Chains A and B, each alone.
Chain A
Amino acid sequence: MVKEECKGIWVFAEQENGVLSGTDFELLAKAHDLKEKLGGTDTITAVLLGDNVSGLVDTLYAYGAEQVILAENVNLKEYSARPYEKVLVDLANKYKPSIFLFAASPIGRDVAPRVMCDLRTGLTADAIDLDVDEDGVFVQTTPNFGGNILSHIVILEKRPQMVTVHPKVFEPFEPKAGATGELITESVEVEADNDYVVLETSMKQFEGKPIDECDVLVAGGRGIKTEEDLNQLRELAHLLGGEVACSRPLNDNGWMPHEDQIGQSGTTVKPKFILNVAISGSVQYLAGMQNSGCIMSINHTASAPIYDVSHYGAVIDYRKVIPALIDEIKRRKAN
């Protein structure tokens, strides 16, 4: 696509079963920031694919979309890579956006590379920040090596500039009731992908609340010695009305499921209070929790990087403190 002809910031409005992904709203909010930095002339467009999903259009306006391109077709009811790829490529070729944002979700990461390939443009993966530099160039920040190294990526000549964005790095707007915008209804012709069939789906059973919805988290890391110790952390978390979470080593060793792992390679969390126990604080872990309200850490190494982001700390073996803390909280609750 010719760079000069491309205009506008697109957000792929990911929906499943008629429910929009929360990251869509984060991207719409960030799009406004980018629009301002780019001179304020780009239109912010949400691109919504599905079947009978027009009811979501007003929600997209409420969260900041100025325009919605709605493409409905029975063959887009469930996500499937090749039909979605075709429609997104056709729409992009028709309207020529300058920036095209996707959530770095399973769907976003499945379809965006195919769209990028067809459009022969660039796609930055799993960005944790988006900005416009002093020359007016759109810059994406992306983590490498588990976040120990960051890169600034630019897509200078090709358009659209495509990005998948890590969930929960941007704040969505408060929804504005009654907000409205321009609706473009596209009638698209697309075949179902008969070579790709979802035979069955089994939902995972989660115990407790998802960690990114908890106000209180107690997280254990590499230094946790035994699974019994982990159960103590769980007891403590429940006493505080929260859940137990972990850093990567406890997922790698199989003690904790991936959905309870904090970090760039897991879930980004922002609880009101987090207690880090025996976690040294790798860069990717810190990035996954450093915006929490109150951060407290227990680690027996004083030089651990976790203390760089902690409001409170205790340099001590957690096995000495956790039982005492459980007793103390039980005592105070009883009074």
Chain B
Amino acid sequence: MTFNFTEEQVMIRDMVREFTKKEVEPRDKWMDENGFDYELHKKLTQAGLMGIHLDEKYGGGGGDAVTSIIVIHELAKGSASVALFLDANWLAADLILYHGTEAQKDKYLTQAAQGKIFAFGLTESSAGSDAAGIKSTVVPAEDGGWVLNGGKAWITNSGVADYYIILAKTDPDAGNKGISAFIVPKDAEGLTVGKFEDKMGMRGSATCELSFDNIHLPADALLGSLGMGFKMAMQALDGARISIGAIAAGLSEHAMTVAKNYANERMTFGKPIAKHQGIQFKFADMSAEIRAMELLTYDTARMKAEGKRHTLEAAQTKLFSGTRCTQICLECQQVLGGNGYSKEYHVERFVRDAKLLEIGEGTNEILRMLIGGTVLAQK
């Protein structure tokens, strides 16, 4: 699918496709067993992918929102974990891109293009879907800086990140409007990174708990204005939900490719199982759904690139794509029969990876509340 890509976007797609085939897909099983792959991160940086959508003045590639979705989509065809890593990285770094001061952009975006890793910290152990219920706090310090206390849970890229964008309450009585965002370097005194979560899937992306014990931050650690953190985070999640659509489309295609190769080779009753109608019907449905995911994803990315509001569309994209991706991976596992249950044949890993897409960056339930509420209120 080209979806009216520019000539440059087609070239970038081809390049990432080749990169994924050679560098990413062969590492996916290793990452499932061993966790984050620093070597691959180095290669992503060398290939100029870490900052592909950042302006050239920061050392980026000068691409737009569609370009970055192309990268995530293509990477997910080889490894959902790596695509998720990049999604989480951009979710955090882009808060600086959209809300940072010129000085903050110069400092951090240049590093982002050079491969420094960013993590976005909103969720806490007692505040996931109910994001406004976070308990971490920041109070002004005497020197004009800030003091951060509390903790976070389920933070993607934690443990490997160089910088954290942390959401914390600056005005406990102001609800949503009392939340602000701060940039916290990994070596900040008082920052403790917990052990890696023993996750079901997406094991190539790191996830840990964080705890903050009187972390002293300088005045310019504040990102955006006071009290705007929650709004910034919700906007950022709109973008991240498009990325989840891209991961779902890519992972589904990866699973379908493995299943397709298997179906064309595996013989039963004297013919390849691909010649049995029961199998063909599965591929008919899966391929149609993958195309729908791609269309939703790229159309929403286009809206973002054009600067249009896309909260509803991003939620719809993620809800549809995440849900269908899990079902497609299960169907592909079924195509492989007993072998689908073996780790050697990869598809069981895809099933484990896929489930995250129905949970992270807004659960299906939260998305349905958002979409249902919006649609019913529309005139």
Do A and B come into direct contact in the complex, CB within 8 Å?
yes
A residues sitting closer than 8 Å to B (CB atoms) are 301-303
How distant is the Cα of A302 from the Cα of B270 in the complex, in angstroms?
12
How distant is the Cα of A301 from the Cα of B262 in the complex, in angstroms?
11
B189 located at the interface, meaning its Cβ lies under 8 Å from any Cβ of chain A in the complex: no
How distant is the Cα of A302 from the Cα of B265 in the complex, in angstroms?
10
Q: List 4 A-B contacts (CB under 8 A).
A: A301-B265, A302-B267, A303-B265, A303-B267
Q: Among residues 227 to 277 in chain B, which have CB atoms less than 8 Å away from a CB atom of chain A?
A: 265, 267
Closest B residue by C-beta to A253: B26
- How many contacting A-B pairs (Cβ < 8 A)? 4
Give the chain B neighbours of A302 by CB distance below 8 A. 267
Closest A residue by C-beta to B344: A225
How distant is the Cα of A78 from the Cα of B99 in the complex, in angstroms?
71
Instruction: For residue B335, give the distance in angstroms from its CB to the closest CB of chain A.
Output: 17
Instruction: For residue A241, give the distance in angstroms from its CB to the closest CB of chain B.
Output: 34
Q: Among residues 265 to 291 in chain B, which have CB atoms less than 8 Å away from a CB atom of chain A?
A: 265, 267
Interface of A: prevailing SS: loop
Give the chain B neighbours of A301 by CB distance below 8 A. 265
How distant is the Cα of A302 from the Cα of B266 in the complex, in angstroms?
10
How distant is the Cα of A301 from the Cα of B345 in the complex, in angstroms?
14
Instruction: For residue A128, give the distance in angstroms from its CB to the closest CB of chain B.
Output: 28
Give the chain A neighbours of B267 by CB distance below 8 A. 302-303
Instruction: For residue B41, give the distance in angstroms from its CB to the closest CB of chain A.
Output: 22
Closest A residue by C-beta to B267: A303
How distant is the Cα of A303 from the Cα of B267 in the complex, in angstroms?
8
How distant is the Cα of A301 from the Cα of B266 in the complex, in angstroms?
9
How distant is the Cα of A136 from the Cα of B265 in the complex, in angstroms?
43
Instruction: For residue B29, give the distance in angstroms from its CB to the closest CB of chain A.
Output: 12
How distant is the Cα of A303 from the Cα of B272 in the complex, in angstroms?
10
Give the chain B neighbours of A303 by CB distance below 8 A. 265, 267
How distant is the Cα of A303 from the Cα of B264 in the complex, in angstroms?
11
Instruction: For residue B341, give the distance in angstroms from its CB to the closest CB of chain A.
Output: 17
How distant is the Cα of A303 from the Cα of B273 in the complex, in angstroms?
13
Closest B residue by C-beta to A304: B265
How distant is the Cα of A284 from the Cα of B267 in the complex, in angstroms?
25
How distant is the Cα of A287 from the Cα of B265 in the complex, in angstroms?
23
Instruction: For residue B78, give the distance in angstroms from its CB to the closest CB of chain A.
Output: 17
4 tightest CB-CB pairs across the interface, nearest first?
Answer: A303-B267, A303-B265, A301-B265, A302-B267
Instruction: For residue A289, give the distance in angstroms from its CB to the closest CB of chain B.
Output: 23
Interface string of B67-92 (1 = CB under 8 A from A): 00000000000000000000000000
Instruction: For residue A320, give the distance in angstroms from its CB to the closest CB of chain B.
Output: 14
Give the chain A neighbours of B265 by CB distance below 8 A. 301, 303
Instruction: For residue B262, give the distance in angstroms from its CB to the closest CB of chain A.
Output: 11
Closest A residue by C-beta to B272: A303
How distant is the Cα of A301 from the Cα of B267 in the complex, in angstroms?
10
How distant is the Cα of A273 from the Cα of B267 in the complex, in angstroms?
30
How distant is the Cα of A48 from the Cα of B265 in the complex, in angstroms?
52
How distant is the Cα of A303 from the Cα of B265 in the complex, in angstroms?
8
Instruction: For residue A302, give the distance in angstroms from its CB to the closest CB of chain B.
Output: 8
How distant is the Cα of A100 from the Cα of B75 in the complex, in angstroms?
52
Instruction: For residue B186, give the distance in angstroms from its CB to the closest CB of chain A.
Output: 35
Closest B residue by C-beta to A317: B344
Instruction: For residue A275, give the distance in angstroms from its CB to the closest CB of chain B.
Output: 23
How distant is the Cα of A213 from the Cα of B274 in the complex, in angstroms?
44
Instruction: For residue B209, give the distance in angstroms from its CB to the closest CB of chain A.
Output: 36
How distant is the Cα of A120 from the Cα of B362 in the complex, in angstroms?
70
How distant is the Cα of A302 from the Cα of B267 in the complex, in angstroms?
9
How distant is the Cα of A73 from the Cα of B174 in the complex, in angstroms?
98
How distant is the Cα of A169 from the Cα of B265 in the complex, in angstroms?
32
How distant is the Cα of A301 from the Cα of B272 in the complex, in angstroms?
13
Q: Among residues 334 to 350 in chain B, which have CB atoms less than 8 Å away from a CB atom of chain A?
A: none
How distant is the Cα of A170 from the Cα of B267 in the complex, in angstroms?
38
Instruction: For residue B34, give the distance in angstroms from its CB to the closest CB of chain A.
Output: 15
Closest B residue by C-beta to A301: B265
Closest B residue by C-beta to A303: B267
Instruction: For residue B73, give the distance in angstroms from its CB to the closest CB of chain A.
Output: 27
How distant is the Cα of A159 from the Cα of B267 in the complex, in angstroms?
52
Instruction: For residue A305, give the distance in angstroms from its CB to the closest CB of chain B.
Output: 12
Instruction: For residue A229, give the distance in angstroms from its CB to the closest CB of chain B.
Output: 14
